[in-house]
């Protein structure tokens, strides 16, 4: 596709200056940057090590309350896009801290959000009248335009990874938000009701989904881990992914969230995966284990060693390879549902 910019002449430059006054520009001068042979993302491979991040998270707890901040979060900004508050072009990621006795006040917004618990037990997320007490490794959904608040009645700090589709909603100029007058919403359902009601291969007669988001808003890690280890006991690992599962909406069988795909994978000790790349840039959270991930190729190749609670990003169309030292469990999320819905998603399992 690359043709190179046409030669400059005095007459052409004069023409460009004339049309610039009318907020126009010649396509042929920018075509190669707009229509590229392969994805050309400014997103860079990067790792945020939890041992480095945690002291700053705790310091933020001394400087500002959860109520003042609304959400006390340190945004994980990709170094290739500083100032844009995003981990990839389409995904936002941040680490949120809630201290004992605090409440992060109730609000709702157009953006869909996921929570993945990194440290601590006993805090809760409430979504549309149901609370979920959070445990490390739990995957929790806040659907678009649902009331949600967080609280921590425990005696220890709790940290989770926030993942949102903020960049996409911002790009589409489709964002709305509201605050609830009270800090917490009324609790109208028993804890675990959504899991009991929709996770047993049954739905109420006449049930019609109100949205594309899963009616289950909390996926416990104990169940996710048991599924992965059952796979490992009965199947051969995928050469590129080890044992990898996708969280689904049990009502539709599709993605758990309409804008973000979520995955959990197990890479046994001494796994060396084959190269893999896809067009959905992906954010990873290390649940258990240690190893390293090699991202990119040639002079741009980066090797990142990781351990528990670290977070890293693999950009769109960047080949990646994993090597593990111990049994490793990874949670990840990407924008794959949007790409698939638009017919844009591609993967490469052999030529990366």
**In 110-184, which ranges are E strands?**
113-119, 124-127, 130-133, 139-142, 148-151, 158-164, 177-179
| pLDDT higher than threshold 60 for residue 178 | yes
Residues 66, 173, 129, CA angle at the centre, nearest 5°? Answer: 45
Q: How far apart are CA 83 and CA 74, in angstroms?
A: 13
Q: How far apart are CA 134 and CA 218, in angstroms?
A: 9
Q: How far apart are CA 112 and CA 143, in angstroms?
A: 5
**pTM of the model as a whole:** 0.95
Q: What is the mean pLDDT of residues 307-317?
A: 98
Q: How far apart are CA 328 and CA 288, in angstroms?
A: 5
Q: How far apart are CA 122 and CA 193, in angstroms?
A: 18
Bridge partners of residue 158, in order along the sequence: 98
Q: Following DSSP, what letter does each residue of 309-352 receive, concatenated?
A: T-EEEE-TT--EEEEESS-EEEEEEESHHHHHHTT---EESS--
pLDDT tens by residue, 194-217: 998 898 888 889 989 889 999 999
Contact 277, 320 (CB under 8 A): yes
Contact 252, 209 (CB under 8 A): yes
Residues 6 or more apart in contact with residue 36 via CB below 8 angstroms: 1, 2
| pLDDT higher than threshold 80 for residue 3 | no
Count CB atoms within 10 A of the CB of residue 164: 22
Q: What is the mean pLDDT of the chain?
A: 95
pLDDT tens by residue, 214-254: 999 999 999 999 999 999 999 999 999 999 999 999 999 99
Q: How far apart are CA 96 and CA 67, in angstroms?
A: 13
Q: Rounded to a whole number, what is the distance in angstroms from the first to the last CA of the chain?
A: 20
* Three-state DSSP class for residue 105: strand
| Domains of the chain from N-terminus onward | 46-348 (2.60.120.10)
| pLDDT higher than threshold 90 for residue 107 | yes
Residue 81: exposure state from Cβ atoms within 10 A (0-12, 13-18, ≥19): middle
The share of the chain scoring above pLDDT 90, in percent, equals 89
Residue 211: exposure state from Cβ atoms within 10 A (0-12, 13-18, ≥19): middle
pLDDT tens by residue, 41-93: 999 999 999 999 999 999 999 999 999 999 999 999 999 999 999 999 999 99
| pLDDT higher than threshold 70 for residue 351 | no
* Three-state DSSP class for residue 156: coil
pLDDT tens by residue, 144-169: 999 999 999 999 999 999 999 999 99
pLDDT of residue 352: 45
Bridge partners of residue 323, in order along the sequence: 272, 292
Can you read off the two tokens belonging to residue 84? 């844009």
pLDDT tens by residue, 243-289: 999 999 999 999 999 999 999 999 999 999 999 999 999 999 999 99
pLDDT of residue 215: 94
From the list 52, 50, 43, the residue with the least C-alpha distance to 285 is: 50
The share of the chain scoring above pLDDT 70, in percent, equals 99
Count CB atoms within 10 A of the CB of residue 250: 17
Report residue 144: phi and psi, to 5°.
Answer: -55, 135
Q: What is the mean pLDDT of residues 293-308?
A: 96
Q: Compute the chain's Rg from CA coordinates.
A: 22
From the list 98, 165, 156, the residue with the least C-alpha distance to 125 is: 98
Q: Which DSSP category does 54 fall into?
A: H
Q: How far apart are CA 99 and CA 334, in angstroms?
A: 29
Q: What is the mean pLDDT of residues 1-13?
A: 85
Question: Alpha carbon of 344 to those of 72, 92, 241, 279: distances in Å?
Answer: 35, 20, 21, 8
């Amino acid at each position: 596709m690359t043709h190179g910019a046409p030669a400059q002449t005095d007459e052409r430059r004069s023409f460009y200056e004339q049309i610039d006054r009318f907020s126009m520009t010649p396509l042929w001068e920018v075509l190669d940057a707009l229509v590229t042979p392969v994805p050309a993302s400014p997103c860079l491979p990067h790792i945020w090590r939890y041992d480095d991040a945690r002291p700053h998270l705790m310091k933020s707890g001394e400087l500002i309350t959860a109520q003042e901040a609304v959400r006390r979060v340190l945004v994980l900004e990709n170094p290739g896009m500083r100032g844009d508050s995003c981990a990839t072009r389409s995904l936002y990621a941040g680490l949120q801290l809630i201290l004992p006795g605090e409440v992060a006040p109730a609000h709702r917004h157009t953006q869909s959000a996921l929570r993945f618990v990194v440290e601590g037990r006993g805090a809760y997320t409430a979504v549309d009248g149901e609370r979920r007490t959070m445990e490390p490794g739990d995957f929790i959904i806040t659907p678009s335009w649902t009331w949600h608040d967080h609280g921590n009645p425990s005696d220890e700090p709790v940290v989770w990874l926030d993942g949102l589709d903020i960049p996409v909603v911002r790009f589409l100029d489709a964002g709305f938000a509201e605050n609830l007058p009270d800090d917490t919403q009324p609790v109208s359902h028993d804890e675990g009701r959504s899991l009991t009601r929709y996770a047993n291969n049954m739905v109420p007669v006449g049930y019609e989904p109100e949205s594309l988001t899963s009616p289950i808003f909390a996926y416990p890690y104990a169940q996710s881990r048991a599924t992965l280890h059952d796979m490992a006991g009965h199947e051969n690992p995928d050469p590129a992914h080890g044992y990898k599962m996708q969280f689904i909406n049990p009502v539709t069988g599709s993605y758990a969230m309409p804008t973000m795909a979520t995955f959990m994978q197990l890479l046994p000790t001494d796994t060396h995966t084959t190269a893999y790349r896809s067009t959905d840039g992906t954010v990873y959270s290390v649940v258990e284990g240690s190893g390293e991930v090699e991202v990119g190729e040639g002079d741009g190749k980066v090797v990142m060693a990781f351990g528990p609670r670290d977070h890293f990003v693999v950009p769109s169309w960047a080949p990646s390879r994993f090597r593990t030292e111990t049994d490793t469990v990874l949670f990840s999320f990407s924008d794959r549902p949007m790409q698939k819905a638009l017919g844009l998603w591609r993967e490469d399992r052999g030529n990366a």
